[in-house]
Amino acid sequence: MNELNLLIIDDEAPQLQSLKSFLSKRNLKIFTASDGEKGLDIIRNNAIDIVITDFQMPGLTGLEVLGKAKEINPELDVILISAYGTIERAVDIMKAGAFDYLTKPIDLTELERIINRLRERKYLISENRLLKQKLNENFYSDFIIYKSQTMNEVLSKVSRAAPSKTTILIRGESGTGKELIAKSIHSASTRSGKPFITVNVASLSENLFESELFGHEKGSFTGAINQRIGKFEEAAGGTLFIDEVGDIPLSIQVKLLRLIQFGEIQRIGSNEIINADVRIISATHRNIEQMIIDGEFREDLYYRLNVITIDTPPLKKRREDIPLLIDHFIKKYSKLTTKEISGISKEAFDYLVKYSFPGNIRELENIIERGIVLSRGELLTMEDFPNLKLSSHSNTLLDPLNLDDGYETKMNAYENTLIEEALRKSGGNKSAAARMLGLSERHLRSRLERINPK
């Protein structure tokens, strides 16, 4: 990270010199001032990142310096130093907007720890600002809705990984926005002007895998009436996003490994070697490490795909983003449905903010879209979410600590939820759903008949 500019304001010359000597060796450019007014002049005329100011000084106090400094630059971080460490004073200091405070005599180790925290925070903010600028150029920024530190860290990693050519594995629960993260990486990369191609492995039957990925020649198999280029050729020069990569059959995994190693593919029925300059980003919600142990996924392929890992957090781990997402989806679907929806009732808003969202952002989006379609007024209310409380009860069914419903009911509910999710992800394809669950298609059909008898 670039050198930070730090201003020390203290009317005691020995203290000022001591802090300057200590901090100047820590990749900081040091400015000093003997009182508040001189310090504010330095802030006005220089790009100061951090201010360390004494609390009690002739003229302006440290609190007054803090307030005026924030008026000049709201993003300035201020550390206050006080000779008196009362709780009341600490509360006043933090309420006034200080990043942190220290009492005299100053613990230099603690000061360095605070500076390092600030350095990391400013680094993340700077990275994300650059990423947002890049995303703005490529039309994706409007869809990354967040204010949480959790997502801040995810996007920081995205911004660092995007410029490289290396493979990336995005991991996370269903509905957490893995494809959106992949698009963001592509958009912020040097390949942004080239295609971004998606292939959802879970929606493909096994006999279509190779043709879908690598293409085929006319007459290469029954039904191949024309030549077809595969997803890798479509993505030439750009990015191929392989969703649910854990569902790729072992027979195809070795060909994918060869492509990553040598950058070469062959269409089915052809001896021609085709060079494929494609960056691969893959995603999964499955435990690949366990699949390797079970012999279902090649370890060498896993390490090729997983050079960089990005974890997308579930919505329940970033609750502070829920209000922003609610507002975004209301605006989005109000426009799409041409309905004038002005907002959401306090009761419905409170319910959504507290809801567990097992389906994550995708579930929240579906709830808002359905609510807007059903809404008869200008304000979304609980009446517009008729299935929400029912789904809340489903959560208690799946909660192992809630024993109200009994063992058999809970196990049937859990099994039903697993199968429904697999069918949803496979687009209703029972063969693909069975593979995802590690079952035979016959076994899956028998379970479906038992759970949902006609």
Q: Is 283 exposed, middle or buried (0-12, 13-18, 19+ CB in 10 A)?
A: buried
Same domain, 177 and 278: yes
Same domain, 282 and 158: yes
Residue 183, pLDDT above cutoff 70:
yes
pLDDT for the residue numbered 142: 47
Q: What is the pLDDT averaged over residues 155-166? A: 89
pLDDT for the residue numbered 398: 58
Q: Are 53 and 80 in contact (CB under 8 A)?
A: yes
Give the CATH number for residue 336. Answer: 1.10.8.60
Instruction: Provide Rg for the chain, Cα atoms.
Output: 28
Give the CATH number for residue 230. Answer: 3.40.50.300
25 contact partners, CB below 8 Å, separation of at least 6: none
Range name among 110-119, 270-279, 313-322 with the lowest pLDDT average = 270-279
Range name among 209-223, 382-396, 410-424 with the lowest pLDDT average = 382-396
Number of domains in the chain: 4
Domain end residue (candidates: 276, 293, 311): 311
Given pLDDT bands bounded at 50, 70 and 90, which one contains residue 53?
very high
Q: What is the pLDDT averaged over residues 127-149? A: 61
The per-residue pLDDT of the chain, averaged, comes to 83
Q: Is 354 exposed, middle or buried (0-12, 13-18, 19+ CB in 10 A)?
A: exposed
Same domain, 376 and 412: no
Q: Are 132 and 141 in contact (CB under 8 A)?
A: yes
> Is 215 within a domain?
yes
From CA 404, how far away is CA 303, in angstroms rounded?
44
Most confident option among 199-213, 215-229, 355-369: 355-369
- Is it true that the peptide bond before 105 is cis, omega within 30 degrees of 0? yes
pLDDT for the residue numbered 281: 97
Domain end residue (candidates: 335, 366, 386): 386
> Is 128 within a domain?
no
Same domain, 253 and 191: yes
pLDDT for the residue numbered 406: 67
> In 357-395, which positions are buried (b, 16+ CB within 10 angstroms) versus exposed (e)?
bbbbbbbbbebbbbbbeebeeeebbbebbeebeebeeee
Compute how many other C-beta atoms are within 10 angstroms of the C-beta atom of residue 5. 17
Q: Is 255 exposed, middle or buried (0-12, 13-18, 19+ CB in 10 A)?
A: middle
Same domain, 329 and 307: no
Same domain, 341 and 289: no
Compute how many other C-beta atoms are within 10 angstroms of the C-beta atom of residue 259. 21
From CA 395, how far away is CA 42, in angstroms rounded?
57
Q: Are 153 and 147 in contact (CB under 8 A)?
A: no
Same domain, 51 and 199: no
Identify which has the larger pLDDT, 336 or 201: 336
Range of the domain at 420: 397-451
In degrees rounded to 5, what are phi and psi of residue 16? -60, -45
Same domain, 99 and 156: no
- The string of pLDDT tens digits covering residues 341-386 is 988 988 888 788 878 888 899 999 999 999 999 898 899 998 888 7
Same domain, 224 and 257: yes
Compute how many other C-beta atoms are within 10 angstroms of the C-beta atom of residue 273. 10
Strand runs labelled E in 286-339: 308-311
28 contact partners, CB below 8 Å, separation of at least 6: 3, 4, 5, 6, 50, 115
Same domain, 93 and 177: no
From CA 183, how far away is CA 164, in angstroms rounded?
15
pLDDT for the residue numbered 96: 79
Domain end residue (candidates: 338, 357, 386): 386
Identify which has the larger pLDDT, 439 or 38: 38
What type of residue sits at position 390?
Answer: L
